[in-house]
């Protein structure tokens, strides 16, 4: 009887072990190769990998389209490129069409009208270099998206553009040398976060805008970024936004600038030095804007000097 019980237990253990071996030998997500321009990644939950550098120049079309939820695209260190630039055509390097849970990682996107078009929800671009886009490096719309640990540079207009986006996190990127703005928030984009980025030399070619500009939207936070040698460091043109804890140096025009239509805005705990003008408010009385605990030397309110640190409404 004892021997029979032992045999039964042993048999059950062997069946369990065989099942585990079979499970380990069967990949949970087999990789699907991306090998051609215009390929549509349409398998929900699919794990896709770019197998080699891919040049889509001359196609005047997007490089890769993503239309399914929960897709992961591994660029695997490769480059997706196109020299095509035509504002009348939808030419994106990687275009996400309304999907959710998408992740794009680990390679380079060069050229196209827009490098990456993230029209998505709860999706992420991480560890990607996006360079030399004709218009936007990364264009983001939708809710809950994130761009992190990436380099976005030499865009013909803006590095990262958030349009009709909410809850977007732009975190830990190098966003530099873009023609107009490093990060542009517009088109009723609310409650987005631009945090802990390096943002340098934007707006120099256009001689306008600069590091971060909020054109339209409320509840946005610009925090703990380092902004060097932009045209303007941070420009607020819409009310109800906050610039906090940033370091802004060497701006060609103004370090932090609040326009008359941006009241009320909050600017606090920033270090803003070595700019042509460190801090500026379009209103002579700061018109409801809160400037507190900033470190700076020069300021303007209503276009005239506000007295510097500890004097006037800019503090």
Residue 272 maps to a domain: yes
What pLDDT shows up at residue 28?
52
What pLDDT shows up at residue 258?
98
Among 6-10, 209-213, 285-289, the least confident range: 6-10
Residue with tokens 């490089």: 63
The counts of H helices and E strands in the chain are 1, 34
Task: List the structure tokens of 138.
Answer: 């990364």
CA 145/CA 171 separation, integer angstroms: 11
Residue 313 maps to a domain: no
Given a cut of 90, is residue 22 above it in pLDDT? Answer: no
Residue 315 maps to a domain: no
CA 76/CA 93 separation, integer angstroms: 15
Residue 90 maps to a domain: yes
Report pLDDT digits (tens) over 163-184.
Answer: 999 999 999 999 999 999 999 9
Tell me phi and psi for residue 265, to 5 degrees.
-130, 160
Report pLDDT digits (tens) over 37-79.
Answer: 999 999 999 999 999 999 999 999 999 999 999 999 999 999 9
What domain range includes position 197?
2-305
Residue with tokens 């009320």: 264
Residue 310 maps to a domain: no
What pLDDT shows up at residue 92?
97
Beta strands in 86-238 (DSSP E): 92-100, 103-111, 114-121, 124-131, 136-143, 146-148, 151-153, 158-166, 169-171, 174-176, 181-186, 193-195, 198-200, 210-214, 221-223, 226-228, 232-236
Based on the structure, what is the number of domains in the chain?
1
- Quick check: bond before 26 cis, omega within 30? no
Residue 204 maps to a domain: yes
Confidence band (pLDDT; 50, 70, 90) for 29? low
Average pLDDT, the chain: 92
Residue 64 maps to a domain: yes
CATH of the domain at 97: 2.160.20.10
Residue 242 maps to a domain: yes
CA 225/CA 243 separation, integer angstroms: 10
What pLDDT shows up at residue 131?
98
Residue with tokens 């630039």: 85
Report pLDDT digits (tens) over 181-207.
Answer: 999 999 999 999 999 999 999 999 999
Task: List the structure tokens of 158.
Answer: 């803006």
Contacts of range 235-240, beta carbons closer than 8 Å, 24 or more positions apart: 235/209, 235/210, 235/259, 236/262, 236/265, 236/267, 237/213, 237/261, 237/262, 238/185, 238/214, 238/262, 239/263, 239/264, 239/265, 240/264, 240/265
CA 135/CA 138 separation, integer angstroms: 9
């Amino acid at each position: 009887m004892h021997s029979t019980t032992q045999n039964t237990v042993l048999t059950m253990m062997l069946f369990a072990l065989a099942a585990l071996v079979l499970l380990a030998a069967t990949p949970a997500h087999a990789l699907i190769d991306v090998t051609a321009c215009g390929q549509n990644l349409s398998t929900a939950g699919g794990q896709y990998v770019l197998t080699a550098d891919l040049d889509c120049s001359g196609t005047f079309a997007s490089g890769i389209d993503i239309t399914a939820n929960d897709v992961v695209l591994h660029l695997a260190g490769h480059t997706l490129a196109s020299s095509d630039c035509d504002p009348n055509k939808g030419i994106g390097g990687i275009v996400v069409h309304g999907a959710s849970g998408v992740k794009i990682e680990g390679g380079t996107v060069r050229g196209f009208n827009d490098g990456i078009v993230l029209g998505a929800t709860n999706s992420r671009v991480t560890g990607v270099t996006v360079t030399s886009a004709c218009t936007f490096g990364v264009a983001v719309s939708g809710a809950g998206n994130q761009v992190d640990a990436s380099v976005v540079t030499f865009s013909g207009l803006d590095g990262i553009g958030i349009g009709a986006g909410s809850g977007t996190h732009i975190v830990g990127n190098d966003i530099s040398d873009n023609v107009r703005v490093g990060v542009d928030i517009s088109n009723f984009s609310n409650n987005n976060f631009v945090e802990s980025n390096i943002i340098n030399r934007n707006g120099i070619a256009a001689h306008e805008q600069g590091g971060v500009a909020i054109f339209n939207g409320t509840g946005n936070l610009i925090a703990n970024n380092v902004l060097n040698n932009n045209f303007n460091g941070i420009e607020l043109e819409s009310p109800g936004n906050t610039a906090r804890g940033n370091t802004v140096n060497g701006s060609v025009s103004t370090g932090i600038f609040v326009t008359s239509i941006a009241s009320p805005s909050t600017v606090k705990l920033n270090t803003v030095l070595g700019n042509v003008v460190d801090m500026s408010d379009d209103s002579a009385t700061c018109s409801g804007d809160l400037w507190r605990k900033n470190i700076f030397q020069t300021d303007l309110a209503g276009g005239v000097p506000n007295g510097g640190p500890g004097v006037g409404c800019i503090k």
